[in-house]
Chains A and B, each alone.
Chain A
Amino acid sequence: MSEKRKAVRTYHRNLAIMLGIMLLIFVCIPLFVKSPYIMNIFVLVFYMSTLSMAWNLLGGMTGQNSLGHAAYMGLGAYASCLLITKAGINPWFSAILGMVIVGLVAGIIFYPCFILRGPYFTLVSIAFGEALRQFIINSTFFGRASGVGLPFGRDSWLNFRFGSKIPYYYVGLAMLLLVYLLMKKIERSKMGYALRTIREDEDAAAAIGINPTRYKIMAVVVSAMVAALVGFFYASYIRYIDPELMILSKSTESVLPAVVGGAAFVEGPLVGGLIMIPLSEFLRAKYSSILPGINMLMYAVVLLVVIRFRPTGILGWYMHSRVKTFIDTKILLKPPVEVLEEVELAKMSGKE
């Protein structure tokens, strides 16, 4: 019994060390990588994976497929940019305000369509994105099609503005980690169980006392707020936004890392993002000059192969693979997850 407990403790410790090393590698990358191009890819990975985690809360955990996440991101970017340029509010504060605004808008717009079941949410999310984009293109206040630029100037943490990519790298990494921890927290909470119950069966959810509409709204609001945060980060990084940000294909881009990595897992978007985004950049840099569009074609082939042969995503495959067993027994020294949980539960029943 205590032997088992010890084994579990060792396993936990080794896992923590492994994750710590991985984190350390990411922290150290800017010290060695000097190419701004590579740095840009990392920053791209960070914010796109974060956006994909936001999508995954709805698509993966709640089973509500959104195709409008670029619109939340865009709206968040616009809200914070306009607050900075027109109202002169500090960027950090305007990020929070932007998140609140987008959360409210998403909650109000999607409340009616969550009373219905089925694909309505997906349809409305497409329409919402497109309508918002058209509205912004035609609104002088939002700068029409020419977009909004953020002021350049001296490097400053207060104004979140830098010439170098390194600060953005670290802020992006921090944002990714914070959102990951938030999602992990949600997954294990009452809300997480409610959302997954709703994903599996709404009648079953109601039978155990879950109000499906209420939890779906909560999910869409949190998801939209995270997307708005990504929008703020994007705007501060690129320092210029235009309505193209909200185009439908951008929404699809936010779905891909989650689907490829494994939408059933909180870690899915991280794994998917780390693989698909550099791949997409690599293909573009390497092949688009040879034959325009060939990079897209190759990307599509990779995507189709993953979806065809690993429909549960890379993590869905990994969790039942020999690779995991190997890592568990040889590197982390034994306890696979089941044994680990068994000890934890044995402790519980021992307490009674």
Chain B
Amino acid sequence: MSDSKIIEVQHITKRFKGLTAVKDVSFSVREGGITGMIGPNGAGKSTTFNMICGYYPPTEGRILYKGQDITDKKAYEYTNMKIARTFQIMKPLKNLSVLENVVASAYFGHAAAKSEREAKERAMEILHFTGLYEKRHILSKDMGTPDQKRLEMARALATKPEMLFLDENMAGLNPAETEAAIQLIRKINESGVTIFLIEHIMQAVVSLCEEVIVLHHGEKIAEGTPAQVMNDPYVMEVYLGKKEGANA
């Protein structure tokens, strides 16, 4: 593991007409690690995420990937830069089988498969890795939420990324499923993929992340290891409300 920063976000701001969704947020993602972003609903997590992933450009600020400015890159240009993402609201290719979903991804990216056979081989590998192998012939619309979340990751992994963005990959899962998802994310990270994730589930963030960024009302309010962040008085106030008798 190196200490170099793979992603650097510099003072990004996003305004939608009058509303400022994200205000002057800066942070960086260490290469090889798992970085998390938490915050209450409406804190601007998804907006920040979508800006980094090229779905909409920031109003102000810059985003660097391996020192290169990628602020104005289009979403579809990211795959070739070895960056992949998942969606909070799953976007499976509903009328295709699980296998075909992953094969489609294997055709793209910096190491794009040259033939259908190669793409299928890659897809099978990924399906084994993500535990979807048994379900490969099911239409993806017929799977439940946990499997669709897994499929999101499988599709992203098939492009052979070095940097993976996970958008609330555990929302809607029960504790057992969450645990399985945590295992999978750890496994992906151990295979050498840097991970940045947004999550609501504290258990996941605490057990996975080395570094956490907390957003509130579109601003960064804390940053550090999970333990540091959890003990930060302001973060506690935001999450749990003000302590009775505490000074204002």
- Residues of A near B112 (CB, < 8 A) are 190, 209
- Given that A201-B91, A204-B91, A338-B137 are known contacts, is A193 also in contact with B85, CB under 8 Å in the complex? no
Residues on A with C-beta less than 8 A from B75 are: 203, 206-207
The answer for the CA separation of A264 and B96 in the assembled complex, in Å, is 10
Do residues B80 and A345 form an inter-chain contact, with CB atoms below 8 A? no
* Distance in Å: Cβ of A187 to nearest Cβ of chain B: 10
- Measured CB to CB, the closest approach of chain A to B95, in angstroms, equals 6
Would you call B93 and A189 a contact (CB within 8 A)? no
Name A165-195 residues within 8 Å CB distance of B: 188-190, 193-194
In the bound complex, do residue A203 and residue B87 qualify as a contact, i.e. CB atoms below 8 Å apart? yes
B87→A204 contact, CB < 8 A: yes
Beyond A193-B104, A345-B120, A348-B120, whether A206 also contacts B96 by CB under 8 A is no
- A residues 197-213 touching B (CB-CB < 8 Å): 197, 200-201, 203-212
For residue A339, give the distance in angstroms from its CB to the closest CB of chain B: 10
Q: Count of chain A residues with Cβ under 8 Å from any Cβ of B?
A: 26
Task: Assess whether B124 is in contact with A197, with CB atoms less than 8 Å apart.
Answer: no
Binary flags per residue of A227-267, CB closer than 8 Å to B gives 1, else 0: 00000000000000000000000000000000000001000
A231 to chain B, nearest CB (A): 31
CA distance A352 to B122 in the complex (A): 11
- A164 CB within 8 Å of chain B: no
CB contacts (< 8 Å) of A321 on chain B: these are: none
B234 contacts chain A at the CB level, 8 A cutoff: no
Question: Given the complex of chains A and B, what is the CA–CA distance between A97 and B137 in angstroms?
Answer: 43
Interface centre among A264, A341, A348 (most CB of B within 10 A): A348
Cβ-based interface call for B78 (8 A): yes
Taking a contact as CB atoms under 8 Å apart, the answer to whether A212 and B76 are in contact is: yes
Whether A209 touches B104, Cβ cut-off 8 Å, given contacts A190-B112, A348-B124, is no
Chain A proximity of B102: nearest CB distance (Å): 10
B residues neighboring A (CB under 8 Å): 53, 55, 74-80, 84-87, 91-96, 100, 103-105, 107-109, 112, 116-117, 119-121, 124-125, 128, 137, 155-156, 158-159
Question: Can you identify 8 A-B contacts, CB atoms within 8 angstroms?
Answer: A194-B108, A200-B91, A207-B78, A207-B85, A207-B156, A208-B105, A208-B109, A209-B159
